[in-house]
Structures are given as structure tokens and as C-alpha cells.
Amino acid sequence: MPLPVGPGSIEALPELDGVRITVGSKDFTEQNVLGYIIGFALSAAGAEVRDLTNIVGSNSLRDAQLLGQVDIAYDYTGTGWINYLGNENPVPGSDEQFAAVRDADLDENDMVWTAMAPLNNTYALVANPRTAAEKNIVTLSDYAALVAADPQAAATCVGTEFNVRQDGYPGMARKYGIDAAAVQKQIVQDALVYQVTADGTQCRFGSVAATDGRIPALNLKLLVDDRGFFPKYNAALVMRRDFAEAHPRVRTVLEPISALLTDEAMTQLNREVDIDGREPAEVARTWLIDRGFVTAS
């Protein structure tokens, strides 16, 4: 790992001394920060960490874990349940969704899910702040009503996956009675949705990840999912069963860290990267130091 750390409240553990552990993540800001948090924490505990963060796409990370190329990563309960396990309907409730994916993935694939964090990086829809104020849009039901009454005022930018996934726009439209054919919808790169929606010329609404730091930075208005459509996407540690059983102290080291990863904490970490221009590794290391888990060395 870059930027070395020493043990703080994380003790150097004989059980992890010199153990080679490969840490992975997907290729977006939050995942990179989470991957570095794992890596720095395990390095402080004495492990020899190999960095395989920034793997392109959920399925590629999953394959790397199944094949033993990645030992540990944070992933999301909704992704596990729907994308990896092939279920169509989410399980209501964060704890219930976690338990369902934990039990099924262990049984079917020998994959261990543990140490669920409070952060829920679910899909969401945001509104341009001026549009939200002028049209009094607070909830997704308000958005659906605006689509029906004035489709042009509800012009919406969506990412490629959100446009087609059943836990994205198609399912949301069914849940809220939106005529998808009436929506003035544009497909853009996920990273561009935030600024385009904030500008309010091309689009007035956009699909986002709920813990993205650009939402508060650009004053975008997160719409309330008043019918409870979007699945829970709590982050949790994922490991192969053989790795988890061989190295149980990995869970011991990381559980108290996961407990502090709230929506608010993760949004701030994401903002420091995407808005302030800091490196994900630096952001992760500083957060761990500030909370006493590790020390600078």
C-alpha cells in the first residue's frame, strides 16, 4: 500500500504478521477509498497487503474474488443479491437484505459477507435545486406527477446501467406509475450526471449514487423514495470462506471500522476526492489516523 501507516488502536497481530492479503475494489471513488481503508488497516495489523483496487466493474471484482485473485473487498448487499445471485426482488430492510445475501452466497458460492456498514449507497434520483424549489419536488411521487403533467420540465439524465437495470429506471417507473415513453430521458456517463443536473439546462433530474459527495457540493436535492422502491446497498466485507476461516482476525480488525462508515462519513470522504481533488489513498489514510485506528509513519 502507498503512504505507510503504523498501529494505533489496531494492534500488530502475530496471526497476521507477514500474511499476504490482496485487497480489491471496483473502479469508482467510494470503492477505491474503501479498498484503501481495508489495506491500511490490515497493514497496521502486520499483513503484507497487495493493492488490486480499481478493478473495472462489479462482475470483474466478483470474478477476481471467486477465482482467488482478490482476498477481501467491500461490496454492496443489493449488488450481491440482485447482480451476483440473480434475484429480481430486493429484500426490504438493511438487516434483512444483509442476512439474505449472507446466507445465500455462503451456501451457493462459499462467499462470506460480514461487518455490514451503516452506509447505504443505493441508487437515487436528484433534482436541480431551482427546479425542486419552483415545482415543489420533494419525493419520487412528486417527480412522477411532474412527468405526467409536464414531461419537458422533468427532463432526466440517467447512467447506462440505471437506464436498463430492474433496480434502476424501469423498475422505478413501474413502482411509481411513470409512463417511461413520456419521459424526456438522456443517457450520459455516470460521472457527468451530477454537473449536468446541477446546470439544469440539459436535464433537471438525474440518477445518482446516494452517498456521492457531489450531491451536497452541487446543492442537488435528493428525492425521497416515498414508496420504498430502491434496494438497500449497504457496504459489507466479502471474503472467500477458506480465507475467512484461515484468518479470523481480519474480521476483528475491520469490524469497528465498518461500524463508523455511515452515509454522512462516506459522503464526506467521496467529496474530498471528487470535489477537493485529493487522492483516495490519502483520504482513506487520513480518516483512519483521525479516528485513531492507525498512526502516520
In DSSP terms, 141 is beta-bridged to none
Asked if 250 and 113 sit in the same domain, the reply is yes
Asked if 148 and 163 sit in the same domain, the reply is yes
Contacts with 51 (C-beta within 8 Å, 6 or more apart), sequence order: 1, 2, 23, 35, 36, 39
Does residue 45 sit within a domain? Answer: yes
Asked if 82 and 67 sit in the same domain, the reply is yes
Q: Can you tell me whether residue 182 is helix, strand or coil? A: helix
Asked if 174 and 270 sit in the same domain, the reply is no
pLDDT at 180 over 90: no
Asked if 109 and 240 sit in the same domain, the reply is yes
Domain count, the chain: 2
pLDDT at 142: 98
Write down which residue in 189, 222, 255 finishes a domain.
Answer: 222
pLDDT at 187 over 80: yes
Does residue 154 sit within a domain? Answer: yes
Question: Rounded distance, CA 234 to CA 36, Å?
Answer: 18
pLDDT at 234: 98
Asked if 131 and 54 sit in the same domain, the reply is no
Write down which residue in 222, 243, 260 finishes a domain.
Answer: 222
Asked if 48 and 188 sit in the same domain, the reply is no
Dihedral sign computed on CA atoms, order 279, 284, 290, 293: negative
Angle made by CA atoms 226, 228, 231, in degrees to the nearest 5: 140
> Burial, 231: exposed, middle or buried (Cβ in 10 Å; 0-12, 13-18, 19+)?
buried
pLDDT at 2 over 70: no
Does residue 34 sit within a domain? Answer: yes
pLDDT at 56 over 70: yes
The CATH code of the domain that includes 154 is 3.40.190.120
pLDDT band at 107 (very low <50, low <70, confident <90, very high): very high
In DSSP terms, 236 is beta-bridged to 75
Does residue 227 sit within a domain? Answer: no
**For range 182-187, the mean pLDDT:** 94
Does residue 228 sit within a domain? Answer: no
pLDDT digits (tens, 9 = 90+) for 212-241: 999 999 999 999 999 999 999 999 999 999
Does residue 106 sit within a domain? Answer: yes
Asked if 64 and 171 sit in the same domain, the reply is no
Asked if 109 and 246 sit in the same domain, the reply is yes
pLDDT at 88: 80
Asked if 211 and 127 sit in the same domain, the reply is yes
pLDDT digits (tens, 9 = 90+) for 262-279: 999 999 999 999 999 999
* Helices H / strands E in the chain, number of each: 14, 12
Give the CA distances from residue 113 to residues 104, 180, 237, 249, 269, in Å, rounded to whole numbers and listed in that order: 10, 36, 6, 15, 23
Does residue 66 sit within a domain? Answer: yes
**For range 245-271, the mean pLDDT:** 97
Question: Rounded distance, CA 1 to CA 110, Å?
Answer: 28
pLDDT at 1: 59
pLDDT band at 89 (very low <50, low <70, confident <90, very high): confident
Is residue 185 within 8 A of residue 156, CB to CB? The reply is: yes
pLDDT digits (tens, 9 = 90+) for 115-149: 999 999 999 999 999 999 999 999 999 999 999 99
Is residue 271 within 8 A of residue 217, CB to CB? The reply is: yes
Question: Rounded distance, CA 58 to CA 76, Å?
Answer: 10
Question: Rounded distance, CA 84 to CA 68, Å?
Answer: 16
Give the CA distances from residue 146 to residues 5, 177, 215, in Å, rounded to whole numbers and listed in that order: 52, 12, 22
**Residue (of 44, 34, 104) closest to 249 by Cα position:** 44
Write down which residue in 197, 222, 247 finishes a domain.
Answer: 222
**Residue (of 122, 85, 120) closest to 104 by Cα position:** 85
pLDDT at 9 over 70: yes
Across all residues in the chain, what is the average pLDDT? 95
The alpha carbon of 180 is separated from its chain's Cα centroid by a whole number of angstroms, namely 26
The DSSP letter of residue 85 is: T
Does residue 229 sit within a domain? Answer: no
pLDDT at 5: 80
pTM of the model: 0.89
pLDDT band at 76 (very low <50, low <70, confident <90, very high): very high
Asked if 134 and 148 sit in the same domain, the reply is yes
The CATH code of the domain that includes 29 is 3.40.190.10
Asked if 108 and 210 sit in the same domain, the reply is no
**Residue (of 263, 249, 244, 258) closest to 291 by Cα position:** 258
- Domain limits for position 11: 5-120+234-296
Question: Rounded distance, CA 79 to CA 90, Å?
Answer: 10
